[in-house]
Amino acid sequence: MTSFLALSAIIVAVYLVHNYRSLARNIAAAKSSGLPIIILPWNVYSMLWLATYPIWLPLLRNLIPSSWRGLWFELLDPEWAYRLGYRPFADIGGDVFLTASPSRIQAFVADAEVITQITTRRNDFPKPLDMYTRLDIYGKNVVSTEGSTWRMHRKLTAPSFGDKNNELVFVESIHHAQSLLELWTGPDGRGNRTVENPAADTMRFALYVISRAGFDVRVVWPHEEKEKLTGAPAGADALLVGATPPPGHKMSYREALSELLENIMWTQVAPPPYLAKSPFKIHRTVGTAVIEWGKYMEELYKAKMEDVASGRNTEGMDLFGSLIKGSGIMGNTSDVSKKEASLQKSDLLGNAFVIMLAGHETTANALHFSLIFLAMHWKSQKRLQEDLDKTLQGKLMKDWTYEEEFPRLFNGMAAAVMNETLRLLQPIINIPKSTAPDRPQPITIGDQHMVIPGGVYISLSCAVHRNPKYWPSESDYRGTDGLNDVDRFRPERWLVDAKDASTSAAENTNFDDEDLRGPSGADTSAHLFKPVKGSYIPFSDGYRSCIGRRFAQVEILAVFAVIFQKYSVELAVDEWASDAEIKKMPKGGKERKEVWQKAADRTDHLLRETMSSIITLQLRDNHIPLRFVRRGEERFVFE
């Protein structure tokens, strides 16, 4: 052990000497900013560290005496912003600070005012494009570009996300939510069965919704395949696909899509044609999936072109359809010259892919974590159900419409639950921005003026969501482990009257060109809590804010309505007690509570300790099993 220790010390020493000069230079540059600085021994967001820190951190914790382990040590965990929330900012005593390591300077921002300056000064604070190259598998796109190229892509994609598409999202979400619910509650709808891996199911759900609303492909769920594909015509004119690959394909659309998106990180390692020849099966599968999905997209693209050429299906509710139509690529030369002349097919496929990618995992997570939070907080769940009863007034699901139901859902407890989940578990914990090399940028906090040096990576930190300055709280709340009210799930905080509220989010960005705006509809509800601008950024903000915001909101609220109209969600406790044993324990009694508490403690632990991001924040290698039971048949209700 001692020789290992000595060796490690030597390695660290050599490394430090070697990097000393760059570090000194970075520290000097950081100091010129006037902002607080933390010095780090290496870049915590390098590929190497991201891939291996779970091995090193526990080792270092044992090696380094606790008196040496200050804040710098905590910041070695790339997920610190999620795990520690606002505390590091409080400890440093500033809502903006810099970290300096030998290879980079990084700024972390949890101040709403500064966030707004950054998101509205698009040219001063561009996205660090080197972080986005992996998204270009099929072509350049609206996520991975900047400047005038980005404008072109945003103009191309924005019109697709109109209210017509939102309507389709609403209908499709209700359709697939019913399938999801049936999967979870069983054919008899009793729901007395454990759902082992709800995350996998919500992922599938989001994929299927985006497949239809994005690409006009209605995927059939595996558990419904027999009846749907062989039974009566499904009614929808969308392309219907199941498990069997059509002629000319090696994978079904469903499989290609899931394999591609679930294993996307491998596409960074090597280009798809090489992956397809790798000795590792997983690589080959991904490689094939990339190629297969590309082929499907090509086919869809052709079919859409024909549709439009022949005047069929010109409704264009799906994103891809309106993308193609809006591109002017359809061959009418006069139309083409009106649009960007440089537009190519790869631009369409590139955007199709990135919309698919951006649109499914984030939404699936939001849904998954909402369900877990609700299972942990019965009172909030009950309030959600009561609120839905009032909103829906027993109306049959088939009569729900986007126009009628969505605005009401968006004004009530369902939206509060969604908002609160996205506050605590912002899927993208550090929204990346930067300053260009040699272009330092001034910022102001109140009447203080500071400078972010040039060549800096900036993270808009999810810690702003837990900055007590911005969130209404019950100040007398004292949680365990030093948690404050801002650190806990309390959707009710959104249901307060805000008299002096400022306007929020995307709605009041002054786009210099209205075609860039994207989602229609204001992001505000008249009488509810409106966060200070810049303090609530699950969808980012400003020019580069999420174009699928409304899409996601519609989807999530529709699922809530379908599930909680008739069902409740509970933590599954199979690990600690069988159904028969639970049955014997008195309802609402101490014994049941003890069993439930074990499940709740495990959930708490997993949420706090085992979450990590690849692109978005997720549980890795762990599941939180749930149960969906008919309302009134809950097993774990404790007042």
Ligand X SMILES: *[C@@H]1O[C@H](CO)[C@@H](O)[C@H](O)[C@H]1NC(C)=O
Q: Which is nearer to ligand HEM, 88 or 518 (CB)?
A: 518
Q: What is the CA radius of gyration of the chain?
A: 25
Which one of ligand X, ligand HEM, none is in contact with 402 (Cβ closer than 5 to 8 A by kind)? none
Q: Which is nearer to ligand HEM, 106 or 363 (CB)?
A: 363
Q: State in angstroms the smallest separation of the CB of 395 from ligand X.
A: 20
Q: State in angstroms the smallest separation of the CB of 253 from ligand HEM.
A: 18
Whole-angstrom Cα distance, residue 364 to residue 552? 9
Rule CB under 6 A: say whether 542 interacts with ligand HEM. Answer: no
Q: How many C-beta neighbours within 10 Å does residue 174 have? A: 20
Cβ 110 vs Cβ 464: under 8 Å = yes
Pick from 127, 140, 104, 123: which is nearest to 30 by CA? Answer: 104
- Let me know the angle formed at the C-alpha of 342 by 339 and 343, rounded to the nearest 5 degrees: 70
Determine how β-strand 430-434 pairs with β-strand 457-461. antiparallel
Which one of ligand X, ligand HEM, none is in contact with 323 (Cβ closer than 5 to 8 A by kind)? none
Residue list 196-235, contact with ligand X (CB under 6 A): none
Q: Which of 96, 209, 528, 629 binds ligand X (CB under 6 A)?
A: 528
Q: Sort 192 into a burial class: Cβ within 10 Å, 0-12 / 13-18 / 19+.
A: middle
Q: In what order do the strands lie in the sheet with 96-100?
A: 37-39, 96-100, 105-109, 457-461, 430-434
Q: State in angstroms the smallest separation of the CB of 415 from ligand X.
A: 4
Rule CB under 6 A: say whether 67 interacts with ligand X. Answer: no
Pick from 483, 464, 530: which is nearest to 94 by CA? Answer: 464
Cβ 161 vs Cβ 154: under 8 Å = no
What DSSP assignment string belongs to 85-114?
TTHHHHHHT-SEEEEE-SS-EEEEE--HHH
Q: State in angstroms the smallest separation of the CB of 402 from ligand HEM.
A: 15
Rule CB under 6 A: say whether 252 interacts with ligand HEM. Answer: no
Q: Which of 152, 219, 261, 415 binds ligand X (CB under 6 A)?
A: 415
Whole-angstrom Cα distance, residue 545 to residue 505? 9
What is the x/- site pattern for ligand HEM, positions 336-355, by CB under 6 A?
Answer: -------------------x
Q: State in angstroms the smallest separation of the CB of 288 from ligand HEM.
A: 25
Residue list 422-451, contact with ligand HEM (CB under 6 A): 427-428, 431-432
Q: State in angstroms the smallest separation of the CB of 182 from ligand X.
A: 15
Coil, helix or strand for 484?
coil
Which one of ligand HEM, ligand X, none is in contact with 332 (Cβ closer than 5 to 8 A by kind)? ligand X
Rule CB under 6 A: say whether 616 interacts with ligand X. Answer: no
Which one of ligand HEM, ligand X, none is in contact with 505 (Cβ closer than 5 to 8 A by kind)? ligand X
What is the x/- site pattern for ligand HEM, positions 127-156, by CB under 6 A?
Answer: x--------------xx----------x--
Coil, helix or strand for 427?
coil
Rule CB under 6 A: say whether 257 interacts with ligand HEM. Answer: no
- At 587, the amino acid letter reads K
Q: Which of 38, 114, 374, 505 binds ligand X (CB under 6 A)?
A: 505
Q: Binding site membership for heme: which residues?
A: 546
Q: Sort 335 into a burial class: Cβ within 10 Å, 0-12 / 13-18 / 19+.
A: middle
Q: Which is nearer to ligand X, 208 or 494 (CB)?
A: 494
Q: State in angstroms the smallest separation of the CB of 76 from ligand X.
A: 32
Cα 575 off chain centre by: 30
Rule CB under 6 A: say whether 536 interacts with ligand X. Answer: yes
Segment contacting ligand X (CB under 6 A): 58-66, 195-203, 365-373, 521-529? 521-529
Rule CB under 6 A: say whether 183 interacts with ligand HEM. Answer: no
Q: Which of 547, 562, 563, 571 binds ligand HEM (CB under 6 A)?
A: 547
Q: Which is nearer to ligand X, 416 or 547 (CB)?
A: 416
Q: Which is nearer to ligand HEM, 126 or 440 (CB)?
A: 126
C-alpha distances out from residue 186 to 396, 429, 632, Å: 21, 36, 18
Q: What is the DSSP letter of 466?
A: G
Angle between helices 281-309 and 253-262 (to 10 degrees): 130
C-alpha distances out from residue 390 to 205, 245, 386, 411, 413, Å: 27, 45, 6, 12, 11
Cβ 89 vs Cβ 467: under 8 Å = yes
Q: Which of 275, 317, 552, 577 binds ligand HEM (CB under 6 A)?
A: 552
Whole-angstrom Cα distance, residue 260 to residue 360? 12
Which one of ligand HEM, ligand X, none is in contact with 362 (Cβ closer than 5 to 8 A by kind)? ligand HEM
Which one of ligand HEM, ligand X, none is in contact with 530 (Cβ closer than 5 to 8 A by kind)? ligand X
Q: Which is nearer to ligand X, 201 or 523 (CB)?
A: 523
Coil, helix or strand for 11?
helix
Whole-angstrom Cα distance, residue 207 to residue 345? 23
Q: State in angstroms the smallest separation of the CB of 429 from ligand HEM.
A: 10
Tokens of 552: 């996601």
Number of residues that bind ligand X (CB under 6 A): 19
Q: Binding site membership: which residues?
A: 546
Q: What is the DSSP letter of 187?
A: T
To 10 degrees, the CA torsion angle through 517, 518, 521, 524?
Answer: -70
Q: Which is nearer to ligand HEM, 23 or 137 (CB)?
A: 137
Cβ 162 vs Cβ 385: under 8 Å = no
Which one of ligand X, ligand HEM, none is in contact with 603 (Cβ closer than 5 to 8 A by kind)? none
Segment contacting ligand HEM (CB under 6 A): 41-49, 330-338, 357-365, 406-414? 357-365
Q: How many C-beta neighbours within 10 Å does residue 165 have? A: 25
Coil, helix or strand for 468?
coil
Name the helix (H) or strand (E) containing 4: helix 2-31
Q: Which of 22, 263, 524, 613 binds ligand X (CB under 6 A)?
A: 524
Q: State in angstroms the smallest separation of the CB of 377 from ligand X.
A: 16
Segment contacting ligand X (CB under 6 A): 142-150, 195-203, 526-534, 602-610? 526-534
Q: What is the DSSP letter of 502?
A: P
Q: Which is nearer to ligand HEM, 175 or 592 (CB)?
A: 175
Phi, psi of 106 (to 5 degrees): -130, 140
Q: Which is nearer to ligand X, 26 or 119 (CB)?
A: 119
Rule CB under 6 A: say whether 334 interacts with ligand X. Answer: yes
Residue list 183-202, contact with ligand X (CB under 6 A): 190, 192-193
Residues that bind ligand X (CB under 6 A): 190, 192-193, 332, 334, 415-416, 419, 494, 504-505, 523-525, 528-530, 536, 579
Residues that bind ligand HEM (CB under 6 A): 127, 142-143, 154, 210, 355, 358-359, 362-363, 366, 427-428, 431-432, 538-540, 544, 546-548, 551-552
